[in-house]
Amino acid sequence: MTTMNAESPQVDAPADLWTVGGADLGSRVLLGTSRYPSLQTLLDSVDASGAEVVTVSVRRVDLDASGDGQTLLGALRQRGLRLLPNTAGCYTAREAVFTAQLAREALETDWVKLEVIGDDETLYPDAVQLLKAASELVADGFQVFAYCGDDPITARKLADLGCAAVMPLAAPIGSGMGLVNPYALRIIRELLPDVPLVVDAGIGTASDAARAMELGYDGVLLNTAVSGAQHPAQMAAAIRHAVTGGRLARSAGRIPRRLYAQASTPDAGRVEVDE
């Protein structure tokens, strides 16, 4: 609920918990953990972002690593972060399901970010294989966070299957192009008003994250926008503030767009001078 401070006209951001995959989260930023210049830069960026959930690639991390703080997984666990293993690099439903099962056994979580890629050029999801994998994983008790294209029909089918969250892309992975099809993202939000929706992939800077939240999305998941920035922790902080600002703007209710101007000053009392 938005509050007013009696001694200051400043409007405070509302307490904004949301529930996804059976967990209550205070942060709406989900952060990837790959391609950072160093482990310390990653950890600084996680702290600056305020993220409570971080993604880890099952194919790229040592799942047998100890939690002593000297490894990626150990350092993340020390911070009490919730791990979201992903199936990056999988091209078939079979590969994705097998990878998810490995992650569940090694990391002791039923959360999985499901990615089933269609080709090496665009890294767009393969909708057919994605739906097949999602169906199998949901039936097997997974909380599936499904990365998909900006196709409203596929998004609705994933929701109907029982995915914990549907995560349409803003633009191709790592492109930094921002929200290239906000129209489709808006349709997905309107079709799925009660499903946790997260914009995933393509975010390039803070304004992209704010725009996603203004469209009514529940969160943003990003990696390259932070890890590839000149100052990753600074960008992570910018994303954090942008998400809060976009969410607050959404709840405030923007004015309608108009083709022509509308004067902010009323005509009453207008001074008229005869020529």
**Active-site residue list:** 113
Residues 67, 57: contact at Cβ < 8 Å? no
Q: Is 206 helix (H, G, I), strand (E, B) or coil?
A: helix
Find out whether 154 is annotated in a ligand binding site.
no
Residues 30, 219: contact at Cβ < 8 Å? yes
Find out whether 176 is annotated in a ligand binding site.
no
Find out whether 202 is annotated in a ligand binding site.
yes
**Kind of pairing, strands 82-86 and 4-5?**
unpaired
CB-based burial, 149-164: b 16+ in 10 Å, e otherwise: bbbbebbbbbbebebb
Contacts of 270 (CB under 8 A, 6+ apart): none
Find out whether 149 is annotated in a ligand binding site.
no
Question: How many beta carbons lie within 10 A of that of residue 79, not counting itself?
Answer: 13
Longest CA span, the chain: 87
Question: How many beta carbons lie within 10 A of that of residue 259, not counting itself?
Answer: 4
Find out whether 223 is annotated in a ligand binding site.
yes
Work out whether the CA dihedral 173, 175, 181, 186 comes out positive or negative. positive
Residue type, 144: V
Q: How far apart are the first and last CA of the chain?
A: 55
Residues 163, 192: contact at Cβ < 8 Å? no
Which parts are annotated binding residues for 1-deoxy-D-xylulose 5-phosphate? 174, 201-202, 223-224
Which parts are annotated binding residues? 174, 201-202, 223-224
